[in-house]
Chains A and B, each alone.
Chain A
């Protein structure tokens, strides 16, 4: 079975990850509306093709891992979903809102944690949150209430007045996640959110994000190159050299790839050597 065959078969695997992408906007907030629909998206940097016909969806209240090597196209995809780059081909919808046609409505429903740190190191923890709240039009009083609440939840309440540059790497990542949740999005995108963190900090952050899915019904797209961050109940999208090679529930992807674990499935699908995705 070739890669395309697997991708084709896997595309029918799970309603959570692979439901057909609607051509027209659907009713907002309905149970059937995907949190994120990526429909045959392609992107090139000059002659280099970074994404080729990428196509998958993320359901509300689901955790979808986007697995790929460095250079697979994950960050390019994030830049397209967040409208940092314009879409060259295909379409992207957030809860039915086309990111190109209605960017404001789409971005309002989305929280993002980018791969590079995007906090202002010279400002305090609270100031960073208030700035983000202002960018979403949230008034100062409401923003303070939300910030206090969210800092308590992530265990940084006592660091509200600290400069961000004085936080540890794990604390900064938690703060970035808290900031991404401040405007109460229904879709959370995280691009390699645990890179550079120790094992405990990684586990804490992953646990926190999974908790958001179950407790708050947030749809999560978690881009990673680390196999051990994926568990059987997740949905999985394997991206390699700009193409989606497989997608669906983890069990289904394993079955289609004829592999016992995600590591083996990835190696089999991509033809890469074992151990190439170590942290």
Chain B
């Protein structure tokens, strides 16, 4: 018996194999992203349209008082910048889940799922890869926003990184969880109407919650329970070198819950197993 065969019969995996797998998944996700330039452009155009058009138009209507973490009056563009960063991650998380539904329908998903490494690890790598891509988008947005006079303190660019990773993981895990429940690509339009829009608009991304409370106390409570609100606030505070502890706990907790649920949903005895084979197969 050759050493190669003996090696195949060993139990478990080396640390280097886990690292290689992670590198491979991140590398593939980055390659796909670079190959789909229109995806990169559209990911940037969306928040920039909000910044350049929406914020400019509403600057006079939606005045912002001094609220933490800001120490002075700020322009409306400055206020919505963290919300737009979170919006990039929200769309990226949903785009990743759309890509997972597509991969599952086309069969590519099987390449990932028949890897011998533990499935929870593979899905975590996939999540991390999606988050990495969202970081590239967010920093590209911050670069453009800098020319628009949105200039957080230099330390904020570094301090915001952990917040972005955590919020990216949370939104990616949510997208992964949603993708496990979508049977056909056509159903994905519902995600836009029932997940993305409500999450984004019922949050502190576009207006501070005290203003929401003035308008509708019910909506205020909805916003408070929306994890996206906390992702926005986590990013907002981190961008100014501060920590919003409540948001940190909420985002951390939601990340854990969404991740566990997504991993369970992709476990053969829970999610995919309930479905029949793909079209044309028996």
Spell out A's residues near B (CB within 8 Å): 28-29, 45, 50, 70-76, 79, 82-86, 95, 102-110, 112, 114-120, 122-123, 127, 130-140, 184, 186, 191
A166 CB to nearest chain B CB (Å): 14
Given contacts A75-B282, A82-B110, A116-B106, contact A45 B276 (CB under 8 A): yes
Given contacts A104-B116, A186-B5, contact A137 B20 (CB under 8 A): yes
When the two chains form their complex, are residues A84 and B115 in contact, meaning their CB atoms are under 8 A apart? no
When the two chains form their complex, are residues B116 and A116 in contact, meaning their CB atoms are under 8 A apart? no
Q: Note all chain A residues with C-beta closer than 8 A to B278.
A: 116
Q: List 26 A-B contacts (CB under 8 A).
A: A70-B282, A71-B282, A75-B282, A79-B277, A82-B113, A84-B110, A84-B113, A85-B268, A86-B273, A102-B11, A104-B12, A109-B9, A118-B110, A118-B111, A123-B31, A127-B28, A133-B24, A134-B20, A134-B25, A135-B25, A137-B13, A137-B14, A137-B17, A137-B20, A139-B16, A139-B20
When the two chains form their complex, are residues A122 and B21 in contact, meaning their CB atoms are under 8 A apart? no
When the two chains form their complex, are residues A134 and B12 in contact, meaning their CB atoms are under 8 A apart? no
When the two chains form their complex, are residues B108 and A136 in contact, meaning their CB atoms are under 8 A apart? no
When the two chains form their complex, are residues B16 and A134 in contact, meaning their CB atoms are under 8 A apart? no
A77 closest partner in B (C-beta)? B282
Given contacts A73-B282, A137-B16, contact A107 B114 (CB under 8 A): yes
The docked-state distance in angstroms from the alpha carbon of A132 to that of B122 is 13
When the two chains form their complex, are residues B8 and A108 in contact, meaning their CB atoms are under 8 A apart? yes
When the two chains form their complex, are residues B114 and A82 in contact, meaning their CB atoms are under 8 A apart? yes
The docked-state distance in angstroms from the alpha carbon of A123 to that of B110 is 16
Spell out B's residues near A (CB within 8 Å): 1, 4-6, 8-9, 11-14, 16-18, 20-21, 23-25, 27-28, 31-32, 35-36, 106-108, 110-119, 122, 267-269, 272-273, 275-278, 280-282
Given contacts A29-B9, A82-B110, A137-B14, contact A75 B281 (CB under 8 A): yes
A97 closest partner in B (C-beta)? B9
B15 closest partner in A (C-beta)? A137
When the two chains form their complex, are residues B269 and A86 in contact, meaning their CB atoms are under 8 A apart? yes
Q: Note all chain B residues with C-beta closer than 8 A to A138.
A: 20
Q: Note all chain B residues with C-beta closer than 8 A to A122.
A: 31-32, 35-36
Q: Note all chain B residues with C-beta closer than 8 A to A70.
A: 282
Known: A135-B115, A137-B18. 15 other contacts (CB 8 A): A76-B276, A82-B113, A84-B272, A85-B268, A104-B116, A104-B117, A108-B116, A115-B281, A127-B28, A127-B31, A130-B24, A135-B25, A137-B14, A138-B20, A184-B4
When the two chains form their complex, are residues B273 and A116 in contact, meaning their CB atoms are under 8 A apart? no
Q: Which of A70, A79, A123, A138 has the most CB of B within 10 A?
A: A79
A122 closest partner in B (C-beta)? B35
Of A95, A134, A186, which contacts B27 at CB under 8 A?
A: A134
Name B's interface SS: helix
The docked-state distance in angstroms from the alpha carbon of A123 to that of B122 is 20
Q: Which of B5, B17, B267, B273 has the most CB of A within 10 A?
A: B273
B11 closest partner in A (C-beta)? A105
When the two chains form their complex, are residues A76 and B282 in contact, meaning their CB atoms are under 8 A apart? yes
Q: Note all chain A residues with C-beta closer than 8 A to B114.
A: 82-84, 107, 110, 112
B10 CB to nearest chain A CB (Å): 8
When the two chains form their complex, are residues B8 and A186 in contact, meaning their CB atoms are under 8 A apart? yes
Q: Note all chain A residues with C-beta closer than 8 A to B111.
A: 118, 120, 131-132, 135
The docked-state distance in angstroms from the alpha carbon of A108 to that of B118 is 11
Q: Note all chain A residues with C-beta closer than 8 A to B282.
A: 50, 70-76
B108 closest partner in A (C-beta)? A118
Q: Note all chain B residues with C-beta closer than 8 A to A76.
A: 276-277, 282
B5 closest partner in A (C-beta)? A29
When the two chains form their complex, are residues A104 and B13 in contact, meaning their CB atoms are under 8 A apart? yes
Of B106, B107, B113, B268, which contacts A86 at CB under 8 A?
A: B268
Q: Which of A103, A106, A110, A133 has the most CB of B within 10 A?
A: A103
Q: Note all chain A residues with C-beta closer than 8 A to B273.
A: 84-86
Q: Note all chain B residues with C-beta closer than 8 A to A110.
A: 114
When the two chains form their complex, are residues B24 and A135 in contact, meaning their CB atoms are under 8 A apart? yes
A176 closest partner in B (C-beta)? B111
The docked-state distance in angstroms from the alpha carbon of A109 to that of B115 is 11
B36 CB to nearest chain A CB (Å): 7
When the two chains form their complex, are residues A109 and B24 in contact, meaning their CB atoms are under 8 A apart? no
The docked-state distance in angstroms from the alpha carbon of A106 to that of B114 is 10
Q: Note all chain A residues with C-beta closer than 8 A to B113.
A: 82-84
The docked-state distance in angstroms from the alpha carbon of A104 to that of B117 is 6
When the two chains form their complex, are residues A134 and B107 in contact, meaning their CB atoms are under 8 A apart? no
When the two chains form their complex, are residues A114 and B11 in contact, meaning their CB atoms are under 8 A apart? no
The docked-state distance in angstroms from the alpha carbon of A132 to that of B117 is 12
A126 CB to nearest chain B CB (Å): 12
Q: Note all chain B residues with C-beta closer than 8 A to A85.
A: 268, 272-273
The docked-state distance in angstroms from the alpha carbon of A119 to that of B109 is 10
Given contacts A70-B282, A84-B272, A184-B8, contact A136 B116 (CB under 8 A): yes
When the two chains form their complex, are residues B272 and A29 in contact, meaning their CB atoms are under 8 A apart? no
